[in-house]
Structure formats: structure tokens, C-alpha cells
Amino acid sequence: MSLPLPFAHLRVLELASVLAGPQVGQFFAEMGAEVLKIESPTGDVTRTWKTSAETTASPATGDVSVSAYFAASNWGKSSLVLDLTNAAGQTALCRLAAQADIILASYKPGDAEKLRADYATLSAENPRLLYGHLTGYGPENARAGYDAVLQAEAGFMYLNAAGAGQPPQKMPVAMVDLLAAHQLKEGLLTALFQREKTGRGALVQVSLLDSALSALANQAATYLVTGHDPQPLGSGHPSIVPYGTVYRAADGRAMVLAVGSDGQFRQLCAALGHPEWATDARFATNPARVAHRPELEALLTETIAVVSGDELLTALERRAVPAGAVRTVGEALRHPSARPMLLPSHAAGPQGLRTVAFRSPQWAVAGQMSAPPALGSATIATFTPDSSAPDETTAPLTCVPPAT
């Protein structure tokens, strides 16, 4: 007996663009929901965000409107073009929203109301509607939110510098967008749970700023508890040593250690042929290692530089010492352990990356999904009408804009 996908009964309208909202849309698509991406006549801007390595046509669909960036978050969806600046587009959205379970939006505060695409307007006809709204700085601040700016303003770029006095650096993926996507998923799943009990929908609001601040975790706690402003340490860890520093072995292998306990440190010392380090007062405990970070890092760098990295990694794995090779993105995705996270290729096109990383034996995992859609490849009829709903051609809807 085949297991069902958990959200096969849900219909999602995606009004959001770029990364955070579309990530949530693909999450619901992977979990079985019917996801209709509603785009302006010019399309999601990420359709045009191409690297120099990309050709003029995407192998995913053969259409130049699909970029790798767009493909990162838009598997399993249909695309419908609506111009929400006119009454016809607003009427179409109103009818679609009357059939929907969830709407994903990423408008600046005030813009959704101008387009009659806001929660109050659309939920008037559909009180069970869940509306997830992403903003940059909250519902009262009309400032647009951009990941790089939020990484700077929330402290991430400062902490991500190679070291004290070094230039701040943006992380290479839009981490704040991804953090906000996770927050929005959590909020919408909470709202779905509530709706099962109350029968009522909800407005779920998530800002990029709040999402970024919530993810500062131990770095924020350090400041709030001690008043000490955390300083950049490159890839090192402020309260664990050795943890995160990159070492290079004699065979050129770059590697990191993540030694979180004194027992693991003793095993590391044994593997390196220096058991005496584990009894040295400077290194015997983690607080001592933090206090004597430069001395220990110098010893580790010198010792690892003359051994085989691959052999050392094998020895550390046998001794249950957390360590790993530094891989390129391609190496990471080609590794056998990455296979469960790859969507099967569609026709002759490339593979996709799953957004769903959790599993349960009680439900299915999405198999082959439709490729990221070409702009406007769907019609309103794609969003399967509910047979129990009134005839959409005759039923009056309160969210339809008044005739002018």
C-alpha cells in the first residue's frame, strides 16, 4: 500500500517571489500540496538572475525564463500570470483565493492592500484562509528587505569576517531569507493545527529582521548575558577549541575538527601521536583550550600539515572524533550521503534539491516532481476547483473589486 503525502489535500497560492516565500511554496509542493505560483507579467525577478556559467536556455524546461536561482525554489508548481494592478487580475485572484487553503505573500507593508491581495480582503470570502506574509522589518515598516542588508544589520557579516579587523563578509547563500522561510513554515504549520481545532484561518507575519535576530543564538546570548560584544574568529568557535578552524594536511586535504568534549580531545591527541597534549594543563579542559587557543592551534596546524589528511580522517572516524573534509558544493552533492536530498531528474533536465529534510515512516516522500515552470504556463483552470464550492462564474464574491 502506497503512503499518502501529508498535504495532498491543500491548495496553495504563491504570491511571493525571490527566495523565502518560494522556498515555503516548494516545501508544500514536496509535501503533496497543489501550488499555483502567481506572477506578474514580468515574472519572478529570479528568473533573470543567472550566473556566467549558465547558458541562454535552461535544460530543465528548454525555456530561457528558468534560471538556476529560480529552479532552487520552484519545483512542483504551476505558473499563472496575473496583473494585479487592474480589476481583471484582482477578480481572478479573488476567485482563486476563495478556493485556497494558504496564500504566501512578500509585499512591502501597504502594497498588498493596494492590489487587493491582503489578508483582510481575501479572507472575507474565505474565513479558513491561512495567509503567510513576509516583510523586511515588520508590518509597520515599509522599508524593503534584502538578504545582504539584513546580514549586515543583524550582525552576521561582522561575525563572519576572517578575524578581528578583517573586512565583514556576507555568507554565500541568502541565509536570512532561508531563516525567514523556516519561520514562516513553522507559523503556517501552527496555524494549520489551530484551524483543525477552530475551523478558522489566520494571518501569519514573519519579518526578515526578526528571523535573523532569532538565529543569533549563542552569539546573542553572549552579549545579553555578559555585555561582551562577540568578535569575529573566522571559522573558529568562541567557546569551543578546536572547533571549526580549517587545517591543511600534507596531501592537500583541507579539514575541520569539531571537538566538543575533553574525551574527544584525548582521542584526537592519540590519533596525532601526541597523547601528552591531553594532560598538558593548558589543553586538558575546554576552558583551558579556549584560554590557550593560539598555542593549541599552532600545534595542530604544524602537526596536521605533515600527515595524510585522508588517513587522519579515517583514524578520527574510528575514534569517534568529529571531523570532516572541506568539500566543494559539487563534491557535497555528488557524495552518496546527499542522494536522499536530490529530486529525481525530470525528463532530460537536471536534478533538483529538496527543501524537505525530515522523514517519517508514516508518510511518503515526494518522488519525481514537475520541473520549475515556464512563466505563465498554467491557466486558472489549473487550480482544480472545489466541487462543493459555488459556481465561480455566478457566485458573488465580497473580495471582487467594485465596478468603476
- Is 177 an annotated catalytic residue? yes
Catalytic residue among 101, 118, 147, 177: 177
Per residue, what are the HEC states of the chain? CCCCCCCCCCEEEECCCCCHHHHHHHHHHHCCCEEEEEECCCCCHHHHCCCCCCCCCCCCCCCCCCCHHHHCCCCCEEEEECCCCCHHHHHHHHHHHHHCCEEEECCCCCHHHHCCCCHHHHHCCCCCCEEEEEECCCCCCCCCCCHHHHHHHCCHHHHCCCCCCCCCCCCCCCHHHHHHHHHHHHHHHHHHHHHHHHCCCEEEEEEHHHHHHHCCHHHHHHHHHHCCCCCCECECCCCCCCEEEEEECCCCCEEEEECCCHHHHHHHHHHCCCHHHHHCCCCCCHHHHHHCHHHHHHHHHHHHCCCCHHHHHHHHHHCCCCEEECCCHHHHHHCHHHHHHEECCCCCCCCEECCCCCCCCCCCCCCCCCCCCCCCCCCHHHCCCCCCCCCCCCCCCCCCCCCC
Residues classed as catalytic: 177
